[in-house]
Chain A
Amino acid sequence: EAGVVQSPRYKIIEKKQPVAFWCNPISGHNTLYWYLQNLGQGPELLIRYENEEAVDDSQLPKDRFSAERLKGVDSTLKIQPAELGDSAVYLCASSTGRTKGWTGELFFGEGSRLTVL
């Protein structure tokens, strides 16, 4: 079974340019998360989706960040315009929905490393 797939793995852009990251969760996982990880830190939640609905986006800087999960499967995270401080790893994770037997275990992708020059 395929894990969480993210692309691109690496992206280098100049400040003020736009950038987009894509995530394909594990098949059947209704819940999708985007996390931000700075060097030497633990991941911090940006947004959580239940199917196509963003149920927690309180930590997403909405002036420049946006996300979508139109059909409740793949998701895209966009930054426009990028700033120097956005250099970090953007991690996508997924888990099953809250049905009987739900464990709450999260599965992560390899991440997308962004460098803003």
Chain B
Amino acid sequence: KQEVTQIPAALSVPEGENLVLNCSFTDSAIYNLQWFRQDPGKGLTSLLLIQSSQREQTSGRLNASLDKSSGRSTLYIAASQPGDSATYLCATRGAQKLVFGQGTRLTINP
């Protein structure tokens, strides 16, 4: 059974810093890994999708990497802004379904 873990559960950094969010998973037999952002009281917004054959994906200030052999993915946020404050969730897709981590609650302080 796949288990997805995100550490830390919460992170607070000053504006302008570069930061890394971590995601680990126990079963490397995944089809893809997806990073989401969730604002309070809102649904999930897809940020980046990495297929199992890929090593990384980039969108603007965001870069996500995938290392299946070690069961890890990282989301790198460059030059953080207060608007980046949200909960970030990663999810792995196995044969049929998505398994989510519990998320990292990120706060960017002006």
Contacts and interface: CB of A to CB of B under 8 A. Distances in A.
Interface of A: 4, 6, 33, 40-45, 48, 55-56, 91, 93, 103-111, 113
Contacts of A41: 102-103
A45 B94 CA distance: 13
Given A48-B97, A103-B49, A111 B32 contact: no
Given A103-B32, A103-B51, A105-B49, A43 B44 contact: yes
Contacts, number: 56
B32 A104 contact: yes
Interface of B: 4, 31-32, 34, 36, 41-46, 49, 51, 89, 91, 93, 96-98, 100-103
Contacts of A103: 32, 49, 51
B contact face: mostly helix, strand, loop, or mixed: strand
A91 B44 contact: yes
Given A104-B31, A104-B32, A106-B34, A43 B46 contact: no
A111 B51 contact: no
Ranked nearest first, the 10 interchain pairs of A and B with the lowest CB-CB distance are: A42-B100, A108-B44, A110-B43, A108-B43, A111-B43, A105-B49, A104-B93, A42-B102, A104-B32, A45-B97
